[in-house]
Structures are given as C-alpha cells and as structure tokens.
Structure 1
C-alpha cells in the first residue's frame, strides 16, 4: 500500500490483516517503488494499493513507472485510491494501467471485496497446466492463454492483468457481440465495478496495443448500442 495518510493506512493494514492479508505500507512514492524492487521474490506482491496524491510524486506517474518495470512487477494488479472521484481522473488512471479505482472515503468492506475479486480473477487465469499451451491465433495476432502473453507480428505487446483478461474473454468468444455487462460478468463474475464505463477505457487501451490503426479498428469492433465484437477473421 503506497499511501501518505498514516491514519488511513493504519486502518487498512489492520482491517486487511484481520482478513488474511499481509500488507506492507509505504508513505511515499519512492519508498513504495523501492519496496517493489527489493521484494525477496520478484513479483512477491499480489496487489498494489496506490494513492493518487502522494507527497513526492503523482500517483499516475507512479502507475506508469510500475507498468514500465520488467518482469512480474509490471503485471501486478493496481487499485488506485484517491479523494478525486471525477470521471476523467478514473479514465486517466485506467488508461495508464490501473486495474480498478476506489474513491475516498470508502468502506473497508468494499476494498476487501475488490481485492478478493481481483485475486479470484488472477487465480482463475493463472492455473498451471502441464499440457501444451493454449494459443489463440488471429492473423498476425497471437494470444497465449497459459503464458498470458500477446504478440503481434512476433513482437510482445504488454498488457495489464485486467486488460489481458478482457482481451482473452473477447477472443474466446470471437464473432459474438458482447455488451459491457457481459464483459464485466466474464471478468469478475459479479457486478462489483461501480464505474462500468471502465470497459470502454480498457478497450481503447487494447486498441492502441493490437490495432494497426486504433482510430480505425479491425480487431475489436464497436457495435453501436450493443457492445463490442472481436473479429474472427483478421488480416485477410
């Protein structure tokens, strides 16, 4: 947890500790980034709680730095905590790689529910398999469901955990129009996200990664009034 409000941090650490979580707290951006880099095992943290307004850096910049790291750290889910609840703040945070967004003040039970939902998604998609990797191929695009990697023209295309799950959910249903509600259900299994327009933000991010021209998408297509469809035939 990277949060400069000591009172809030103490409350969260105590509450989550009582519910089975081991929480490490950092009061500044630098301390938080150092903890991530110096963890005994790379990627030892399951989730990062990140305050948007820190004394030594903007939380949005910290999120960008986390996503630019190599290895498991870059893929660690991020929940942004902030007193700024404006929709545009949420959009920017999600575009920069946050997986979820919780405005202050918040109920500890809601934070706990969001943490558990993120962990369920991680566990459901990270089950090790001794069989051959499940790979979906659409023209020049390759999605490895077991390795959780995406390649375009053989080059890696990094995505956050949430964005990969969203892409996989659509790719596995290629050719079917999916509404925002159906996508949220596929990702979380429950209506927990109060800001359902986040799907649109993540779709936009996906397009910048896998489309040749994000402004004229050929892979993830908007169906007005209905949702999105992942094209079954690509690069034809």
Structure 2
C-alpha cells in the first residue's frame, strides 16, 4: 500500500465517522456508533430521560463494535473490510428510508448495530494503516494525544495527517448535522460518500498485522 495513500484514506474515514456519529446521535436515540467511549459514559448516566432505551442502545453499539473489531483484526484485509462497511452503511440507508418514524426500540437497535459494524470495520482499517502516526479514525482522543506529545517533543512527523484527521471528524459531524436539518434521510446517506471515496483510494491489498 502506498505511504502517500494511507493518510488520505485515514482522513476520509475520519470524515465518515463524524458523519455517522452525527446521524446516530441525532436520529438513533442519542447513541454513538463510532465513539464507544461516549457510549460507555452514557451507560452510567442513569438520570438521563428514557434511560432504558439509552442503556440498550449503547450496549448494543459497544457489543457489536467490539465483536466486529475483533473479527476485523483477524481478517486484516483492508479492502474486504471497507466493502463490508460500505454495504452495511447502504443497508442502514435503505432500512431507514422505509422504516416508520419515530423509530421503535427494535429498529433503533437494528440500525445502531449495523452502524456500529460499519464503524468497527473502518476503525480496524484506520488503526492498522496508520499505526505509526497514531491516527484513530473513529475517535480523536488518541490522535490528539499523539499530536500534542509529538509537538511537545519537537517532532513534526505525522503532524499533517493527525491535524487533518481531527478536522475531518469535526467536518463530518457538521456536514452530517446540516444534512439532517434538511432531511434526516440525507444524514443516513452521507456516510456512504466517504466510504466510496475510500474504496477508490484503497488498493486491494491486505493490511499487515499490527
């Protein structure tokens, strides 16, 4: 895989994660499907309105994400994982387009699980192809920490991809929120765009184990 290609893929996947989390949080009961740290915090917020729905949704997301992440690191084929993520995002879009709204708890869980599967696949890809830079495409705490550590140590390598990944995540969330304001279906469709772009950028090769 070209060293010039992997940072671009990581940035595109960061945008996808921001857009996906915007859709999930705003349309799937306030649950994250890319940021599992957020879901673990939500599990503890028992005073939140509709806590049972939050507890179930957050638990579904964490379990689906963890299981598929484990399987993804065993597969280690970036293109296969990205195809799976893209297909699953398409299923979310198709299902959301035909489902009655507001969504019932069962449909919420189905869409949360599917979205978490897509984000798990993208996480494995991003974590592995950018292992040296410390870029994590579905959450930015690790990326931000790596950036600040390198700056504190006077090192500049990987600075660009780290900064762009953080900005792309925010941009994805912003564009996703704007799309949902226009039409919630657009919010479901948006994550497909960066997934397809990443497929075009990603060579059909296996990712080496970390």
| Common fold: TM-score over 0.5 | no
Structure 1 or 2, whichever has the larger Rg, is: 1
> 1 or 2 for the larger relative contact order (CA 8 Å, sep ≥6)?
2
Q: With structure 2 as the length reference, what TM-score do the two structures score?
A: 0.28
Instruction: Point out the structure with the larger helix share.
Output: 2
Instruction: Point out the structure with the larger strand share.
Output: 1
